[in-house]
Amino acid sequence: MRCSMLSQRVSAQPAALGWRARPVQSRRILSVRAMAEELVAPHLARVSAADVARVLKSAPTGTVILDVRELTEVAEGSIKGALNVSASIVRAEDTSAFDAIVKERISGAPQVPVIVHCHFSKFRGPTCAKVLDDRLKALGMSGTEVKVLAGGVAGFMDEFKGDAALVQLPAGGWAPSHT
């Protein structure tokens, strides 16, 4: 009985003393990858999968989709018409190979956006987008707008893997080795 009375007194004390419970402040806890996504090329716009699909389905606009995944990843599925240049070429110290690709494939369309992606577009895609943006400026092609596909090809496939007009898939369908 004494224990029961004690617990009643303890639980009643805060209210009796005018204390009130404070709401718990929710904090956004970021993983290292999420922090990296926010830190890598924050000045470059992110574009949704739906927006990219709309652009691809509209009249030819010349938009360049730059896929910076390795060939083995591209073989698992890709956005139809995307230009594949692996991140290792984009980020190489010797920029001559990438510069040649930029001049050949992008130089003719200074007002057309280039949308860069990797699998999830968390680190590799935004990093390559920043490199591309820097190279365009160095080559005197600063009018080209560089964007990042939010969610990468994985997000795009989640929404559009059933649309053969937008995606190219192997016989087994979309089954990426990344998860």
- What is the mean pLDDT of the segment spanning 151-167? 96
Please state which of the ranges 60-64, 65-69, 118-122, 128-132 shows the lowest mean pLDDT.
Answer: 60-64
pLDDT above 90 coverage of the chain, percent:
59
- pLDDT at position 129: 97
- What is the mean pLDDT of the segment spanning 147-174? 95
pLDDT for residue 23 is more than 50: no
pTM comes to 0.77
Q: How far is CA 155 from CA 16, 52, 65, 160, in A?
A: 54, 11, 15, 9
What DSSP element (H or E) covers 97? helix 96-105
Alpha-carbon span 81 to 65, nearest angstrom: 7
- What is the mean pLDDT of the segment spanning 86-111? 88
- pLDDT at position 40: 79
- pLDDT at position 112: 78
pLDDT for residue 105 is more than 70: yes
Tell me the domains of the chain and their CATH numbers.
Answer: 32-168 (3.40.250.10)
